Structure 1
C-alpha cells in the first residue's frame, strides 16, 4: 500500500498545489473539509437553570452565535481531502495524498481576538502561529485561486464536513472577501449553495442516525477507524478522518443513495432533522 502524505500549503506553493487539485477533481469528486480557527469567544449566556436547554437551542439562535464568532475571528488552517465514493485517494509520485493543509497568515495570535484555551490546544497539537504569519497564505489570494481551481461552482462535487457549520461559515466569509455573514440562516444556506453546489453533507447527523454520538475522534474509534496520519485539531488530518468516517458510514448503511438524499444540506444544529436507521452498528 502506498504511503499517505499530507501536503502542506503555504504562500510559496499555493498556485502549484491548486494546480494539482484541479487535475484530480474528475476522478476524486468527494471533498472532505475541516478548518481550524482560534476557538469561540461568543457563546449563549447560560445559568444552571438554562444550561440543559442548550441541546434544544433553536437553529436561528445557533446560527446567530456561529455568525458572531465567524464575523469576529480569522481562519488559521483549512484541510481538504479528495476521494472517490469508495474512499480512494489521489496518487502523486508514488504516495497517496491524504489531504492538502492550507496554512493562513491572516491570524495574529498577539493581537487578534481568540479563545486562549483553544489557542493553547492548537499549539500543543503542532500549529506554529509565527510560521503561519511569516509564510502563510493571504485569504484573498486563496479565494482567487480557489475560484479558478475547479472547486468553486462545480456542481459535480460533493462536500463533506463534520459538525460543519463553522467550517462552512469561515469558507463563505473568505470566498466573499471577508464580508460579514448574512443576518439570517436561510440567506447563509443560499450562499453555501452558491459557493459549494447542490451536495453538501455533515457527517455528525449521519452518525447520530446510526446511534453514534460524540466528536469525530470518538466516532471514528467506535467504528474501528484509526487516524491515518497527523494529529487531531490539525485541519489536514481531521479532513482525512472525516472522509474515512463518511465512507465507512456509507458502507455500513448499504443505502448510499438514500443517505445522499436524506442528509443533503442537513447541518448539525442548523438544519438537522431527526432520522434513525436500523441495523448499522
Structure 2
C-alpha cells in the first residue's frame, strides 16, 4: 500500500527548514507541479485590450490584476514522470506556502473568491500573522536551486497564467513587464526552459473544463487535501499531468507543449 500523503504547511517559522528539505529532493524529483491561491480578480479586461492579439490581451488583463493583488498561497509538489513523491517520516509529501502579504481588511480582492477560500479552510488572519514574507521567500527560492536555472527542472501548472504571473512578480519584486514576450523571457530566466500547462495537453485529448472536471474524466481522485487550497491543487495537477503522460506519451508532451500556456500562447477555448 502506498504511503499516506502529507501536505506540509509552510509558515515564517519553518520556511528555511522546509526549503532546505525541498533542495535535497530536487535531483531525485525534478518535476514541480504548482498552484497558487490569490484573492480573485478585481479588474475586467479593458475594451482597449480588444484591439490586441488574443494572447497579448489576456496578458494585459492578467498583468493588471497581478500587479494589484497579493499572493495568499503557493503549492509545490515535487515528483518524477511516474508520479513518485518525496518521502519524509514514512509519508509522501507536497508543500503549501502561506504568505503574509495579503491583508483581507485593506487589500483589493474579489469578495466571492475570498468567501470561497475561507469556506475551503484558508485562514487569512493566521496568514497575516504567521505567513511567509514574499521577499524572504524569493531569496530562499533563488539560493535553494529552485530558480535562476541552477538546476534543470520542469515546471507544471494548470491554466497557469496567473500562477506564473505571481511567481514572476514575487521573484523579481516588481510589477510584471509590459509585454507578453518580456514576461515569457523572465519566466525562462527565473524558472528555466521547461514549462508545461496541463490544460492545453488535456484539450489535445478532447478533455475540457477545470482541473476537477478533467481529473474526473481521467478517473483521477484527489490524493489529499481540499480543492482551492494550493498544496492540494498542486498535487492534483501532478496526478493529472502523470495520467496525461501515460495517455499522450512523455515525448509527445515534452516536444509539443513546452511553453504553451492556455490563453496566452494558445487560443482560449473552454
Is this a same-fold pair by TM over 0.5? yes
- Name the counterpart of 2:78: 82
The reply to whether residue 59 of structure 1 matches residue 55 of structure 2 is yes
User: Contact 2:158–2:199 at 8 Å: present in 1 too?
Assistant: yes
Structure 2 matches for 1:1-281, cutoff 5 A?
1-44=2-45, 58-97=54-93, 99-152=94-147, 153-177=149-173, 179-253=174-248, 255-272=249-266
Cα offsets for 1:87-114 (capped at 9, x unmatched): 00001111101x1000000000000000
Cα offsets for 1:51-109 (capped at 9, x unmatched): xxx9x971111000000000000000000000011000001111101x10000000000
Output the TM-score relative to the length of structure 1. 0.91
Q: Tell me, which stretches of 5 or more residues in structure 1 are unaligned? A: 47-53, 275-281
Quick one: distance in 1 between partners of 2:34 and 2:115?
23
Residue 14 of structure 2: SS of its match in structure 1? helix
CA RMSD of aligned residues (A): 1.5
Quick one: distance in 2 between partners of 1:113 and 1:71?
11
User: Contact 2:46–2:61 at 8 Å: present in 1 too?
Assistant: no
User: Contact 2:32–2:76 at 8 Å: present in 1 too?
Assistant: yes
- State the number of aligned residues: 263
Output the TM-score relative to the length of structure 2. 0.95
Quick one: distance in 1 between partners of 2:9 and 2:253?
32
Runs of 4+ aligned residues of structure 1 deviating over 2 Å after TM superposition are: none
Quick one: distance in 2 between partners of 1:181 and 1:75?
14
